[in-house]
Structure 1
Amino acid sequence: MTRVAFQLQVRPELLDEYVARHSPVRPEMLAEIAAAGRRDYSLFLGAGGTLFGYYATDDDRAAQAYLAASPVAARWEAEMSRFFVGLDGRPDQAATSLTEVFHLEDQLAAASATDSSATTDTEGRAS
């Protein structure tokens, strides 16, 4: 699984309308996002219109290609593009990706694996 986070800047004068357009998102667009293989998708709005998004997927390239070819997504993105500052192209394809620096479950799993290997002897017995 791949976790993807991104950042966009919403035009401050359009913040209320942007939020309203997501309350709720059209059912056909929700279905396309799911069909593309994106799940656990969230958007977070920060001060001044800074928007952070997150989703998980098994194959982000395939998800992007699916949405790029989708007429439903193309219509939605064309309507939504006016909300963003300094964006060339469709928001779903042109957002700035963020680098993951911490994930709790990954670090817990790594710590558990380290603890498990430290408590066994060379013959695989617990010490």
Structure 2
Amino acid sequence: MSTTSRVCFRLQVRPELLDEYRARHCPVWPEMLAEIAASGRRNYSLFLGDDGMLVGYYETDDDAAAQAYLAASETAARWESEMSRFFVDLTGRPDQAAAPLIEVFNLAAQLSAIDTITESE
């Protein structure tokens, strides 16, 4: 039985490049989309604030394997090389250097815990 990992991360986009950053994602290269899917990442979204704060989210059954797959991908290396100039204070490839945020609340998990307690009473 596999457990789905929910991964969220934050990066800062250079304010002067916000419009270009948005344009580069409409659409993303088809071959890059295929590599993301092949890595095992799904339900992947990016959210961008007017101040350049970028929050990303995806789900995967094995994040280490997904990271390794993308790290070995020539397509992902090309994409990340082109995208790296958009970010403030980032060393390395954006897909590898973004630190994940810690999940502090999950509605489904808490509702499930309540249901489990209720069922055992």
TM-score by length of 2: 0.96
The higher radius of gyration belongs to 1
Gap runs ≥5 in structure 1: 119-127
Alignment partner, residue 79 of structure 1: 82
Task: Provide runs of 4+ in structure 1 moved above 4 Å.
Answer: none
Alignment partner, residue 104 of structure 1: 107
1:55 aligns with 2:55: no
Give the superposed CA RMSD: 0.6
Gap runs ≥5 in structure 2: none
* Structure 2 residue corresponding to 1:30, chosen from 20, 29, 33: 33
1:20 aligns with 2:3: no
1:41 aligns with 2:52: no
1:114 aligns with 2:114: no
Task: Report the alpha carbon displacement of residue 47 of structure 1 after superposing the two structures with TM.
Answer: 3.4
Identity %: 71
State how far apart, in whole Å, the 1-side matches of 2:52 and 2:99 are. 15
1:8 aligns with 2:11: yes
Alignment partner, residue 92 of structure 2: 89
Which amino acid letter does the alignment assign opposite residue 79 of structure 2? W
SS in 2 for 1:47: coil
TM-score by length of 1: 0.91
State how far apart, in whole Å, the 2-side matches of 1:32 and 1:17 are. 22
